[in-house]
Amino acid sequence: MTAVTIYVPGDAAAVAVGADATAAAIAAEAERRGTAVKIVRNGSRGLLWLEPLVEVDTPAGRIAYGPVGAADVPGLFAGGFIAGAPHPLGHGPTAEIPYFKRQQRLTFARVGLIEPGDIEAYKRHDGYRGLTAAIGMTPAAIVECVTASGLRGSGGAAFPAGIKWKTALGAAADRKYIVCNADEGDSGTFSDRMVMEGDPFVLIEGMTIAGLATGATQGYIYLRFEYPLAKRMLQDAIRSAYEAGYLGADVMGSGRRFDLEVRMGAGAYICGEETSLLESLEGKRGQVRFKPPLPAIQGLFGKPTVINNVITLASVPIILDRGAEHYRDFGMGRSRGTLPVQLTGNIKRGGLVETAFGLRLRELLYDFGGGSLSGRPIKAVQVGGPLGAYLPESRFDTKLDYEAFAGVGGMLGHGGIVVFDDSVDMAAQARYAMEFCAIESCGKCTPCRLGSTRGVEVIDRLIAGDEPVKQEALLRDLCETMTHGSLCALGGLTAYPVRSALDHFPADFRKTAAARARG
Amino acid sequence: MTSQTPRRVIPNQPEARSRLNDAELAAVQNACAALKHLPGALLPILHAVQDELRHVPKNAVPLIADALNLTRAEVHGVVSFYHYFRTEKPGRCVLRICRAEACQSVGAAALEEHAKRSLQVDFHGTTADGAITLEPVYCLGNCALGPSVLVEDRLVGRVDARRFDDLVADARKAK
C-alpha cells in the first residue's frame, strides 16, 4: 500500500498556531491505525485564518482541512479524511477555495505547493528554467527583458527594477554585488517571509539571474533576526544550490561565478532603507547615506550594487522563463504584473492575496477578508506599513495601483493592509507613528531625530486639550518639515499616518479625557 | 602615508581581557578568529558572541575592536545602535511582544499591559527570579494571526492573556 501524502505547513505563521503539534498528532494517529502516511512540511498556502491548513493528496487533487488542531486529528482519521472525505473542518479541493481560486499566483506559484527545501521538487515545478534561459542571453538582453516586464521594486519605493540593473551593468568595476533586502520590517507584511520559508530557491535563482545580468559575483541576503525559520530555510537551500552546481564558481556549467550568503540584521527598522542596509552589511551603524552616489554606482564597499526586495528578485525567474510580455500583461497603468497583498490585523480571513494590480480595497476587505475579525465595522485601514496612510471607509474604492494610491495621499508600499475596527483611537495611532519614528530613527538628520520626539509631545498636548487649535497647527507644520527635510523615507513618510489620522478622524483628537477613559 | 599603511588605532587596554571569564573569553576569541576574514565582519561576530553568551559583554568590545582593527568607539557605537544586541545577560528566556500596528488592532496593547503587570517588569527588564526578560519587538511577520510573541526563537500567534500566562509558566519550568 502506498503512503498517502499529507501536507502540514512548516511556515512560521502555521507553526505559531500549532502546526508542529498537528503534524506530530497525524504521525502518531497514523501509526496507531497502521495507516501509511508521508507528511510533507510545505510552505503556507496563504489562507492564514485556516492555519494549520492540512491537505491530503487524493486522486481528486489536494483536499483542504483547517484549522486543524492536534485534538481534531483522531476525529479526522475516523471521518475518513485520508481519502478526502467531507468533514466539518473540510473545505474541498484547495485550488477551488474561492479565496485561492480568485488569485493570480506568479511569484507565489510554488509557495505552499512543494516541500521548500527540496531542490528536485523545485526543478519539477519549473524551477531554474529562468536561470537556464538567462544563461543563453547577453547581460544586456536580460536587463532588457526585466525592463520590458515593467517589474518595479516591491520594497516600497516602486522603482523600476530594470533601470537599477541597467545602471549597475553600465558601471565598470572589479567587483559588483547583488543585495537582497529581506529586512521586512513593515507591520502588516509577511510576503517576503512566506517566499523565503516556502520557496527559498526562487529567491536564490532570482539573485543569480541578477548576478548574470549585471556582472555581479557576490550576493548577500540581509535578513532580519525576527525571522529565525527563514534563516534556516535559506541557509539549507543555499547549501543545496551549491551542491547541485547552481551557485559557486561555475553556475550551471556557464563558467560564471555567483556566491551567496545570508547576513543577519539586528532589530533596526531603519536597515530596511537601502543605504542603511549597506552600512549595516559593511559592519557599521545602520545610518542612512546621502544620495547620490546611487548604490547602483557606488554601493556596498563602494562598488556597484543592485539592491532589491525579496519579492522583486523572486519575480525575476518567471519573467525570464515565460517572457516579459507574460508578466506585463497583468496589471493596470504603470503598475504591471501582480501584487502580493497581505491582509492583516482585525480581519476575519487574513492571508496572502496575489493578484494583478487594480483590485479595489473594498473587494479585498470584504470579498476576500470577510470584514473584521471582531465583527464590528471597519473604521480604518493602514496600507503600506507604519509609514502608510490611514484610510477611512470613503477611500475603500481606491484601486490597488501605485499611482492611484499616491492620488489619495497614500502609498502601497510593500502591500501590507492592516485593518482596524471602530474601537481604534486614531489619535493614539497617530501618536504611535511618531513614537515609532523616534524609536527607530537612525539619528542622522534632525527633522526625523528630533521631529519625531517633538511630535509625540505635541500630540500629547493636543489630546490633552491644551490649546488644541495651536497644537494642531504646530503638528501640521512639523509634519511638513519632516516630509521635506528628512533624508530618507522614515522621517519623510511618518507624516502620512499622522496627517491622514488628523484629516479623516478629527473627532478622535477632540475626545474629552472622560470620553477617552470610557473608550 | 601610502594606502598600504594600516589605519592607526589607539592601543587597547590590555586588562580588559582579564575582566572576562574563561567561557566569555573563549567565545569572543573563537568568534573573532572564525569570522574576522569576512567583509563587514562586525555584525556576524557580534551575532556569534551573543548566540553563545546570550549577550555581548562590555569587556568584549576592546577584543573585537582589536581583531578588526577598529576603535573601541566604533564597536561600541555598533553594539548600542542595534536594538537586538544587549550588553547585560538576560533572563533564561527572552520573551518579545510585538507592539506593531497589526497586533495593536487585535489587542496587543492590552497584552503588553498584562505582561508588564503579571511579570512586574517594564520592557527590557528581567523578572526577579531571573527566568524571563521582556522585550518589545516591531513586527514578527505574523500579522494575520496576532497578537504575536517570540519566545526565544519560537513564534506564537493569537496570544491572549491566558495563553501568555501559559507561555510564561512553560518558560519558568524549562531549565
- Interface pTM, i.e. ipTM: 0.95
Residue of A463, A466, A437, A470 whose CA lies nearest to A451: A437
A374: nearest CA partner in chain B: B106
pLDDT of residue B18: 60
B39: nearest CA partner in chain A: A282
Mutate to test the interface with A, among B50, B124, B143 (most CBs of A within 10 A): B143
To the nearest whole Å, the CA of A78 is away from the closest chain B CA by: 28
Q: Which residues does residue B154 pair with via DSSP β-bridges, in sequence order?
A: B151
E-assigned strand segments in A30-138: 37-40, 54-58, 61-65, 90-93
CB contact under 8 A, A283 and B40: yes
Cβ contact A180:A154 at 8 Å? no
Q: Which residue intervals of A81-174 are DSSP H helices?
A: 98-101, 119-124, 129-135, 139-149, 161-170
To the nearest whole Å, the CA of A394 is away from the closest chain B CA by: 20
Residues of B in contact with A184 (CB under 8 A): 139, 141
CB contact under 8 A, B40 and A347: no
As separate numbers, helices (DSSP H) first and strands (DSSP E) second, chain A gives: 22, 16
Mutate to test the interface with A, among B69, B105, B151 (most CBs of A within 10 A): B105
CB contact under 8 A, A264 and B44: yes
B80: nearest CA partner in chain A: A285
CB contact under 8 A, B139 and A226: yes
Residues of A in contact with B102 (CB under 8 A): 187-188, 344-345, 416, 418
Residues of B in contact with A281 (CB under 8 A): 40, 43
B136: nearest CA partner in chain A: A267
Cell matching residue A83 = 481519502
Cell matching residue B5 = 599603511
Per-residue pLDDT of chain A (519 residues; tens, 9 = 90+): 689 999 999 999 999 999 999 999 999 999 999 999 999 999 999 999 999 999 999 999 999 999 999 999 999 999 999 999 999 999 999 999 999 999 999 999 999 999 999 999 999 999 999 999 999 999 999 999 999 999 999 887 889 999 999 999 999 999 999 999 999 999 999 999 999 999 999 999 999 999 999 999 999 999 999 999 999 999 999 999 999 999 999 999 999 999 999 999 999 999 999 999 999 999 999 999 999 999 999 999 999 999 999 999 999 999 999 999 999 998 888 888 999 999 999 999 999 999 999 999 999 999 999 999 999 999 999 999 999 999 999 999 999 988 899 888 888 999 999 999 999 999 999 999 999 999 999 999 999 999 999 999 999 999 999 999 999 999 999 999 999 999 999 999 999 999 999 999 999 999 866 676 665
Residues A145, A62: Cα–Cα separation, whole Å = 35
To the nearest whole Å, the CA of B130 is away from the closest chain A CA by: 23
CB contact under 8 A, A226 and B141: yes
CB-based contact, B104 to chain A, within 8 Å: yes
- pLDDT reading at B1 higher than 60: no
Residues B1, A69: Cα–Cα separation, whole Å = 68
CB-defined contacts A:B, below 8 A? 151
CB-based contact, B55 to chain A, within 8 Å: no
CB contact under 8 A, A281 and B44: no
Mutate to test the interface with B, among A187, A278, A281 (most CBs of B within 10 A): A187
pLDDT digits (tens, 9 = 90+) for B105-139: 999 999 999 999 999 999 999 999 999 999 999 99
Residues of A in contact with B75 (CB under 8 A): none
CB-based contact, B3 to chain A, within 8 Å: no
Cβ contact A136:A253 at 8 Å? no
Residues of A in contact with B81 (CB under 8 A): 268, 285-286, 442
CB-based contact, B107 to chain A, within 8 Å: no
CB contact under 8 A, B40 and A263: yes
Q: Say if residue A126 is exposed, middle or buried (CB neighbours under 10 Å; 0-12, 13-18, 19+).
A: middle
To the nearest whole Å, the CA of B45 is away from the closest chain A CA by: 10
SS3 B38: coil
Residues of B in contact with A267 (CB under 8 A): 82-84, 137
pLDDT above 90 as % of chain B: 88
A184: nearest CA partner in chain B: B141
What's the start-to-end Cα distance of chain A, in Å? 61
Scored b (16 or more CB within 10 A) or e, A26-36 reads beebbeeeeee
To the nearest whole Å, the CA of A284 is away from the closest chain B CA by: 6
Residues A151, A106: Cα–Cα separation, whole Å = 12
- How, if at all, do strands A37-40 and A4-7 pair? parallel
SS3 B150: strand
